[in-house]
Amino acid sequence: MKSSRVYRKRAIVKTPRCRPVMLLITVNVAWLVVGNGDIALNIELDTNHLKTGTYYIYERTWDRVTWRVTI
């Protein structure tokens, strides 16, 4: 079984790599809702830190789930 340090490093590496995808999704959805690209970009910039922290916590939480499987 991998150590918690390995899982922590994986979450740290995966978090910023996921952000560009999430940025595009958020900007596009916000643009469709508000109809203004500048406002849509501001919505993404304002929520970026919250979503990055949430994703990291989400990854770390799932790393603790054992599923009773041995690898």
Query: How many Å from the N-terminal Cα to the C-terminal Cα in the chain?
Result: 7
| Rounded alpha-carbon distances, angstroms, from residue 45 to 9, 34, 40, 48, 56 | 25, 15, 9, 5, 18
Low-confidence stretches of the chain (pLDDT < 70) are 1-2, 69-71
* pLDDT tens-digit series, residues 55-64: 889 888 888 8
Whole-prediction pTM value?
0.57
Degrees, nearest 5: CA angle 55-61-64: 145
Domain borders along the chain are 19-62
